[in-house]
Copies of this chain bind each other. A is one copy, B any other.
């Protein structure tokens, strides 16, 4: 085996794409910053317990682990930055009011996930802490849509869900934890057969709850399914509230996305989400390109329960979906060799943002090896740019 072959789902980012991702990163980050989101930089690795806290254990299998030589304890490489940012809000900043944070950085997955085909996504996102109203859910969703537009992704389809619907059924009917976990798996897989079997075994639950569980995978579509859900599901206050929230969000977001659907069996992140959840899709990509939702319970594990909602996306995934910026072509200049007029001209052009590549003695540049379309030449005693 050749030594330079990379592991599966691990890739280098070559110049044209690297520059494009860098530009996307700056544009999206600038958008988050002008909305008042403060940038934080959590570490690439920390103790496993700390990374798992708040993610409900969801990322345990996904996480690479290494031994910390200075403590002997197990450290994990972050598979998701959200729990880290929640830790920063809960513990380090410890503010009373609303806190808005944003982040951008690489995360590592031990195996490629459904969300993306790389094991090294470049995660960028924003989190809003300390506000439990729908206004903050709305702010986060609008920010996600604006970020996608800035990144150059068009034709957005938005899926809205609410984990309180399933949770409400489970709580209302007093379903035991082990059955909840089995039901959860069946719903996630939209496996009607398994769902039917499980409901059949739960013989002491309310008929309307059983019907509700069985119909949940089919409650996907436009606002009509919310009406259907109100009729089909038991009238528990948590469920009614969830359906009302979905209706309100849908009516406000409909105008700013291309298509919108409700999905009452979307239980992604069920172990840490607590309210509205959402996922954005676009053409030519079967995976969600941005994800988010409310997860009020995360801070609790760090000693401070705070309402929280946020979104995140993978810039590497997005960069493959959009038209790349054209790489700016450079200007080729001769080696100055102490010629201060030429040195001054090169410096001036660079300070204006032009790429100037100096020819090194003995190595004539050829257009194949570098991306330039102009030359700096001496004409009538002055250094001027000529097209090639």
Contacts and interface: CB of A to CB of B under 8 A. Distances in A.
A76 B103 CA distance: 25
Given A4-B53, A136-B360, A34 B355 contact: yes
Interface string A24-68: 001001100111101111111111011001000000000011101
Give the size category of A's interface with B.
35 or more
A7 B360 contact: no
A53 to B, nearest CB: 5
A49 B3 contact: yes
B44 A88 contact: no
Nearest to A335: B135
B14 A93 contact: yes
A36 B26 CA distance: 20
Contacts of A41: 12-13, 17-18, 21
Interface string A79-107: 00000100110111101111111000110
22 contacts: A4-B91, A4-B303, A5-B47, A7-B68, A7-B75, A10-B45, A12-B43, A12-B88, A18-B40, A26-B26, A34-B353, A35-B350, A35-B355, A35-B357, A36-B330, A44-B106, A65-B66, A97-B363, A97-B365, A98-B369, A131-B363, A133-B362
A45 B108 contact: yes
Interface of A: 3-15, 17-19, 21-22, 26, 29-30, 33-36, 38-47, 49-50, 53, 64-66, 68-71, 73, 75, 77, 84, 87-88, 90-93, 95-101, 105-106, 108, 110-111, 120, 130-131, 133, 135-136, 139, 301-303, 330, 335, 350, 353-358, 360-366, 368-371
A139 B75 CA distance: 41
A7 to B, nearest CB: 5
Given A34-B353, A97-B365, A46 B106 contact: no
Given A11-B43, A35-B357, A43-B120, 7 more contacts: A12-B42, A12-B84, A14-B88, A14-B92, A65-B66, A66-B110, A100-B357
Give the interface centre of A29, A44, A356, A361 by most chain B CB atoms within 10 Å: A44
Give the interface centre of A8, A9, A70 by most chain B CB atoms within 10 Å: A70
Give the interface centre of A4, A95, A353 by most chain B CB atoms within 10 Å: A4
Nearest to A330: B36
Contacts of A68: 7-8
Contacts of A302: 3-4
A22 to B, nearest CB: 6
Given A3-B50, A22-B29, A135-B361, A34 B356 contact: yes
A308 to B, nearest CB: 13
Contacts of A92: 12, 14
- Top 5 closest A-B pairs, CB basis? A13-B41, A36-B357, A97-B369, A15-B38, A34-B350
A357 B34 CA distance: 8
A370 B136 CA distance: 16
B40 A7 contact: no
Contact of A40 (B14, B50, B105, B135): B14
A71 B40 contact: no
A110 B3 CA distance: 23
A11 B50 CA distance: 13
A143 B55 CA distance: 44
